[in-house]
Structure 1
C-alpha cells in the first residue's frame, strides 16, 4: 500500500494541468493529480514515469494522499464546473486546507467563492496562470490573489515552478479577494490588443507593401531582436514562414479569417467601462473579433463596393517597414499603458492595493504578453508611487512623440488602400486625445443639456449651469 503523502495536488489533468503538475514534480515536490477522465489520469502516469508524480482516479484517494494543510489546485473550465468541484471537495477537507483556482474565472465568481470558503474555514486563492501549455511545463507567470496565509504556504511551490527572469520568479502575491483573477483578466485584455496590432501590421505590409510571407517573417524576426522583442512577435515570425504539409503554400493563407474568443477580453472592456477607464485599443481588438465572426456578411458586402487600389505615391519597401515598426512599437506602449491604467484605477475602486511594479515584473517572463518592453514599464512604476498612466513619463514620452509622424504615414497609407486599422488607429487617437489640452466634449455637454437638461460647467465661473437653448 502506498503510504507516501504528496506535497501538491491538481484536479484537472488536461494538457495544461498535466504540464503544470509535471513542472511541480520536476522541481522536487511530490505531485498528485486526479481527473474524471481516466485517459487523462493514465496520461499523467505515463508522462510522469520515473518522477515523483502520481495520478489517482477518485477524489477521496486524492485527498487522503495529500499532506496537511492540503494544497489543491484546480485547472478545470471556468464557471459552474469550478463550483461543482469545490462542493465535491468540501466534505473531504479539513480546516485551513487550501484550494487554488488556476483557471480563467471571472473575478465576481472568485469574490463569491473567496467569501463562501471563508465560512467553511477553507483558504482560497484565485490564481491567474499565463503561458499556455508550454509555459505550464517550463515555467508560467503566476498571479495569486486571496488568502495571504495560503500564499505563504504555497509560495515555495509556486516560486519554484514559475518562469524566471534574471533569477527572479515570475510570481508574486497580488492582493486580497479576486485581485489575482482581475490582473489575469487585464493581462488577457492587453493580449487581445497586442495580437490584433500585429495582425494589422501584417495586413498593411501585405496589402500596402506587397510583401510575401517569408519576407514578413524575416522582418518580424528582425524586429523581435530589437525593441519589439516579445513572445507574440516571435511566434508571429514563425507563423508567417510555416508551410502547409499537404498544399504547396503557406499555412497562414489557408486559415479562415474568423477569430474566436473565450471572453476575457470582453470582460476587460466591460469592467473598464464600469470604472470609467478608457481602453479603446482593447475594445477595438474585441470588436474586430466580433466583426470577423460575420464573415459571410462581409463577403457579400465586399462585392457591393469597388475595389480600392493602393495609390502609387504610398509608402513602400524599407520606408514602409521602418514606419510600421515605429507605429507598432508606439501602439504596444499605449496598449500596455491602457491596461496598467485600468489596474491602477481598479486597485483603488476594488481595494486591491495592487503593486503595479510587481505586476510588470512578473509579466516579463512566462506569460503570453512577455516582452522586453515590460522591464522599462517596471522601472517606470518603481520610480513613481501612485503612477496611473505611464505615457507621459520620461521613459516613454519622447519615444511616443518620435513615432507619431510615422504612425500618421502608416495610417494614411492604410486608409488610402482600404486596409482596416481599428486597433492601430484607436491607439494613436488615445495618445492624441491625452495630448490635447482641450477636447470637443464641450459640444457634447451642450447637447446633453439641450435635450435632457443635464446641466454643464463653465471655464469662466464655478458652479452648475443650465440653459434654455434656442430661446
Structure 2
C-alpha cells in the first residue's frame, strides 16, 4: 500500500471530524492519538472511509508511515500541549516536512513556533479552523498563516475540505507566521460580541416584554429572513423553539445561565488593547461572560439590592421588537467594524498584508459568524482596500443612519428598567464617540500635563510639547 503524504495527530472531536473530511475528499491519511483506544475507536467508526485511513499508536510508526515530504496536522489543545507534540514529532522528521497547527493557538505562539521550526529546516503553518464539529466534518472556514510557498503545498487539500460559498472555497492564505491564527482570534472576538448582543435582545423580550421562549424564537426566525440573516440568528431561533426531552419544558429554561470561554475572546480584547484599537463591544462581551460565571455572587447581589422591575409597558410590543431588530443590526455592524479594524492594525504592525476583503469572503460559509452582511463587508474592502473603518463605507453608513436611533432608544429604555445591555451599550458609546468631531479628551490632556507635565497640543500653535500655567504657580 502506498504511504499517504498527510498525517493527523489528535483525534478529539474536531480532529476526528477533520480527518474524516480529508478522507471523504479523496486524500489518504495517517492518523495518530496519544491514547491507543481512541485510534481504534476512530477507525471502527470511519465506515466506508476506513480504506483511506491508516492508524498508528506510536509517534515513530506514525511518522514512518507518511511519505516524504510529510504534512502533519496537529489538532490538539492550544498552549503547552502544542509545544509538547512538536517536541515529540521533530526528532523523527526530515528537513522539508511541514507541520500544521490547526487548533485555536495564540498567534504569538505561532510566530515563535514558525521561526523556531523554520530555523530547523521544517515548514510550519498556523491555520485557524472555524465551524465547530459539523464544520470540521463537512466544510470549515480555514484561515492560514505562514510561508506562502508551504501553503501552496496544501492549498488543494484545504480548498477541497473547506466550506463553499457559491462554489468558492472558504479557505485562504492571509499572510506570514501568525496571520491566520490572529484572524481566527478576531473571528472569535466578533463571535463573542455577536452572541452577547443576541443574548441581550433575548433578555429584553424575555424580561422586559414577558415573552415566552417559543414566541421569541419566532421573532428571531423572522429576523433571519432579513438584514440580520446569519447562522447565529438561525440557531437562536431553533434553540428557543426546542423542548427539553426530559421534562417537556422549553430547553432554554433548564440551561444554567453561566457561560464558558476557552480564551480566544480574551485574546481578542487583549490584542486590541495592545494595538491601541478600540474594540469595546467585544470587550464588553468578554466581560459579560466573566460576570455570568459568577452566578453565586450575582444571586447574592440580587438578594442585597432587590429584584428590579424590568417590565416595559411604555410602548407597544411590536414597536419595541422592531426597534430591537434595528438596534441589534447597528450593534452587529459596530462589532464587525471593530474586529476588522483590529485585524487591519495587526496586519500593519506585523507586515502581514492581510487581505480584508478575502477575510470577509472566507467567512461567508462554514464559520460560526457567517452572515448575509459579509457580502457587503467583502465589497466594501474590495472597493477600497485602504478603508479605515466599515463605518466609513457608504453601504454601512446608510445602514447606521437608518438604525442607530433605535439602538439609542433601546439602550435608554432598558437602562430605565434595569435590563443590562453591556455589548449594545458599548457599541452605542463607541459610535457616538467615534463621530464626535470635538471630544472631551482636551480635559484629559490638561490633567496629564497638570500632574505629570506630559505636554499637549494647542489649537493655535504647532507642536505637542506645550504646557499649562499651573506648573508655574
Q: Same fold (TM over 0.5)?
A: yes
Alignment counterpart, residue 44 of structure 1, candidates 42, 46, 69: 42
Listed as ranges, the gaps of 5+ residues in structure 1 are none
Task: Note the 1:53-452 alignment, pairs <5 A.
Answer: 53-310=53-310, 313-452=313-452
Q: Give the match for residue 469 of structure 1.
A: 470
1:90-144 CA-partner distances (Å, limit 9, x unpaired): 1211111110000111111111110000121100001100001000001000011
Judge conservation of contact 1:4–1:65 (CA < 8 Å) in 2: no
Judge conservation of contact 1:272–1:278 (CA < 8 Å) in 2: yes
Q: Which moved more, 1:50-59 or 1:320-329?
A: 50-59
TM-score by length of 2: 0.97
Instruction: Give the C-alpha shift of residue 428 in structure 1.
Output: 1.1
Judge conservation of contact 1:208–1:413 (CA < 8 Å) in 2: no
Aligned equivalents of 1:300, 1:50: Cα separation in 2: 55
Aligned equivalents of 1:210, 1:127: Cα separation in 2: 44
Give the secondary-structure state (helix, strand or coil) at the position aligned to 1:32.
Answer: strand
Instruction: Give the C-alpha shift of residue 388 in structure 1.
Output: 2.1
Instruction: Give the C-alpha shift of residue 246 in structure 1.
Output: 2.1
Question: What is the total number of aligned residue pairs between the two structures?
Answer: 469
Instruction: Give the C-alpha shift of residue 307 in structure 1.
Output: 3.4
Instruction: Give the C-alpha shift of residue 453 in structure 1.
Output: 1.5
Instruction: Give the C-alpha shift of residue 54 in structure 1.
Output: 2.6
Aligned equivalents of 1:314, 1:146: Cα separation in 2: 56
Judge conservation of contact 1:146–1:177 (CA < 8 Å) in 2: yes
Q: Which moved more, 1:409-418 or 1:298-307?
A: 298-307
Instruction: Give the C-alpha shift of residue 4 in structure 1.
Output: 2.5
Q: Give the match for residue 5 of structure 1.
A: 3
Runs of 4+ in structure 1 off by over 6 angstroms are none
1:376-410 CA-partner distances (Å, limit 9, x unpaired): 10000000021121112111101101102211221
Cα 1:312–1:289 change in 2 (3 A) is closer
Give the secondary-structure state (helix, strand or coil) at the position aligned to 2:342.
Answer: helix
1:141-174 CA-partner distances (Å, limit 9, x unpaired): 0011112211010011000000000111000111
Give the secondary-structure state (helix, strand or coil) at the position aligned to 1:304.
Answer: helix
Judge conservation of contact 2:360–2:374 (CA < 8 Å) in 1: yes
Matched, 1:15 2:20: no
Cα 1:267–1:70 change in 2 (3 A) is same
Aligned equivalents of 2:176, 2:363: Cα separation in 1: 19
1:43-81 CA-partner distances (Å, limit 9, x unpaired): 221222322123221222221221221111000001111
Instruction: Give the C-alpha shift of residue 313 in structure 1.
Output: 4.7
Judge conservation of contact 1:209–1:316 (CA < 8 Å) in 2: no
Instruction: Give the C-alpha shift of residue 305 in structure 1.
Output: 2.2
Judge conservation of contact 1:22–1:31 (CA < 8 Å) in 2: no
Alignment counterpart, residue 25 of structure 1, candidates 11, 23, 26: 23
Judge conservation of contact 1:340–1:388 (CA < 8 Å) in 2: no
1:405-455 CA-partner distances (Å, limit 9, x unpaired): 211221122111110001001111111111111111111111111122111
Judge conservation of contact 1:143–1:181 (CA < 8 Å) in 2: yes
Cα 1:258–1:431 change in 2 (3 A) is same
Aligned equivalents of 1:304, 1:187: Cα separation in 2: 38
Aligned equivalents of 1:284, 1:239: Cα separation in 2: 24
Aligned equivalents of 1:315, 1:25: Cα separation in 2: 57
Cα RMSD for the two superposed structures: 1.3
Aligned equivalents of 2:466, 2:245: Cα separation in 1: 69
Cα 1:314–1:412 change in 2 (3 A) is farther
Aligned equivalents of 1:310, 1:63: Cα separation in 2: 61
Judge conservation of contact 1:44–1:54 (CA < 8 Å) in 2: no
Judge conservation of contact 2:102–2:128 (CA < 8 Å) in 1: yes
